[in-house]
A and B are shown apart, each in its own frame.
Chain A
Amino acid sequence: MIRESWTSRLGIIMAVAGSAVGLGNFLRFPSQAIQNGGGAFMIPYTIALLVLAIPLCWVEWTIGRHGGSHGHGSGPGILNSFWNHPVARYAGILGIFIPLVIYMYYVYIESWCLAFSIFSLTGSLTDAAAQSDVAQFLSSYQGVTTSDWFSSISIAYSFFLITFTINFFFIYQGVAKGIEIISKIAMPLLVIIGLLLVVRILSLSPADYLNPDWSVAKGFGFFWNPDLSALLDAKVWLAATGQIFFTASVGLGVIITYASYLRKDDDITLSSLTSISINEFLEVVIGASIAIPAAYIFFGPEGAIQIGNSGAFNIGFVTMPEVFANIPFSGLFSFIWFFLLFLAGVTSSISMLQPGVSFLEDELGCSRKRSIIYLGIFTFIGGHIVIFLLDKGALDLFDFWGGTLAIVIFATIEVIIFGWVFGVDKGFKELHRGADLQVPLFFKIIIKYVTPLYLITILAVWFYQDAVNFIPNPSDPNFYYHLFILGSLATIFATIFFAVWLGERRGAFNKDYSKEQL
């Protein structure tokens, strides 16, 4: 079987950057920074970028390209090609499980962005924003409550179906004709739209301010003025590490799959650094310059603190429409904002489907069409758990167990296999094959010692601090729902486990297509 390849270096750079750039760049980052010392947040954030995100990206690109050259494009096969052992194969399940679980809730949130961009143009969202009623608008749209705007979940469900279909349309086209093309179009568009919004915020005149004291400069100051005392708080360091982890898309199983479509001697050092730098540009330069400064201008320092603490979703779906309601052409700018989030969402969500498709094609020998059908049914069923049990905490449970804790576990496994089992010297040799950029040797020490220690610490702290909140509690009125949701997650994991076992039985992990690769 001949595997596909990226048609250009720019293609994979844009695809990986597209996977990394998501709602988190525009919503989660500003919210985290505001809650954790403002400008001072950038110190732990930069350290985590250097010792965690960049080394992990190099590790993932290396093991991905290596796995691809042996005919494997998903976690089980890729890790097995680095360490031919059942532990590697079965640990690799996480590289399929994580992106699929995230996809099941991410695609629903993405559909809200598409819906809200349309509602901005039709005027219903701007009407709700003008009445400061967007929170009610959102909850009735989700079917959690009812309002004059929505009496059932049917509209939200229709947008879910549209978004779900769009994702599968692109993934069906394949790596080169689908993912590469959409990423090459969406990423530059994302930068342009982001810059357009930044320019709009910067060009607000004093006449637009609700209070003469709430200026643009003060809005930026509110975000960037460093509170250095925050650096003494361990929570701030942990938050910065968490943010960098999510934003770089490491530990998801997506980068290894994308890198598996590289040719054996394609550069990875420079390409991976470029994709990270694009992601950072969209997060720190553009993401930091939109939501929080805008919220400050219209709601003042106290309002902005409240908004920052209310979390990423609230900033994106409630605050921003209310901000735009205060400026001319509010519908247009609200549309641009939600379309920006939708584009960022699409490039991320299609990347979450590819590991599953690669597994079905490479290890179980399914055709692309059949892989898409199987994956479509699987994720469609999973998506319904999130949609209909949203108010019972399905999204939060999926996000914590599948989209937070599992990511750190998978990243730890990857870096240990790379640095300790395969060997950091051999790994570095593999990393530098066809390299256009020499990685400094001290990164060997970082990859072997610092990154795994850092990851194990985060894992331990998160488990200790948060896991207890996500274990079903019999005194909770939603106890049986929580049990059902966790049971669903376990079923998803067991299904993938069974599929890997099937692949093992048919000898998929012993094949080597390296000579056949294009």
Chain B
Amino acid sequence: MSFAGILTMLTSMIAIISLNLFCFGKILKLNNQQMKRIKSLEEIETKDHDSTAG
């Protein structure tokens, strides 16, 4: 396998794997943020419920 062949193969594969990691990384990050938001909203709701009940 020539040097140019290795370079082409690695560049192509690394670029595609990086694109996959970028996309899935971003989706995971957004999901985590959403989960945190839902949790904090639930906490606020519980607090509101407690104070109303109290």
Residues of A in contact with B (beta carbons under 8 Å apart): 9-10, 38-40, 42, 46, 217-218, 220-221, 224-226, 270, 273-274, 277-278, 280-281, 284-285, 436-437
B41 contacts chain A at the CB level, 8 A cutoff:
no
Q: Complex: how many Å from CA A270 to CA B2? A: 36
**Contact pick for A285, options B8, B16, B24, CB 8 Å:** B16
Q: Which residues of A contact B5 (CB under 8 A)?
A: 38-39, 220-221, 224-226
B26 contacts chain A at the CB level, 8 A cutoff:
yes
| B2 A274 Cβ-Cβ under 8 A | no
B23 contacts chain A at the CB level, 8 A cutoff:
yes
CB-CB under 8 A for A224 and B16, given A9-B27, A436-B30, A437-B26: no
Q: Which residues of A contact B9 (CB under 8 A)?
A: 39, 220, 224
Q: Complex: how many Å from CA A220 to CA B8? A: 11
Q: Which residues of B contact A278 (CB under 8 A)?
A: 20
A285 to chain B, nearest CB (A): 5
| A285 B17 Cβ-Cβ under 8 A | yes
| B1 A274 Cβ-Cβ under 8 A | no
B12 contacts chain A at the CB level, 8 A cutoff:
yes
Q: For residue A221, which residue of chain B has the nearest CB?
A: B1
Q: Complex: how many Å from CA A270 to CA B17? A: 16
Q: For residue A219, which residue of chain B has the nearest CB?
A: B1
Q: Complex: how many Å from CA A437 to CA B26? A: 9
| B26 A224 Cβ-Cβ under 8 A | no
CB-CB under 8 A for A226 and B4, given A270-B23, A270-B26, A436-B30: yes
Q: Which residues of A contact B35 (CB under 8 A)?
A: none
A319 to chain B, nearest CB (A): 21
Beyond contacts A225-B8, A274-B20, A280-B19: 12 other A-B pairs, Cβ-Cβ < 8 A, are: A39-B9, A46-B12, A220-B1, A224-B9, A226-B5, A270-B23, A273-B23, A274-B23, A274-B27, A277-B20, A281-B17, A281-B20
| A277 B4 Cβ-Cβ under 8 A | no
Q: For residue A41, which residue of chain B has the nearest CB?
A: B8
| A224 B20 Cβ-Cβ under 8 A | no
B38 contacts chain A at the CB level, 8 A cutoff:
no
List 26 A-B pairs, Cβ < 8 Å. A9-B27, A39-B5, A39-B12, A42-B12, A46-B15, A217-B1, A218-B1, A220-B9, A224-B9, A225-B2, A226-B4, A226-B5, A226-B8, A270-B23, A274-B24, A274-B27, A277-B22, A278-B20, A281-B16, A281-B20, A284-B12, A284-B13, A284-B16, A285-B13, A436-B30, A437-B26
Q: Complex: how many Å from CA A185 to CA B35? A: 24
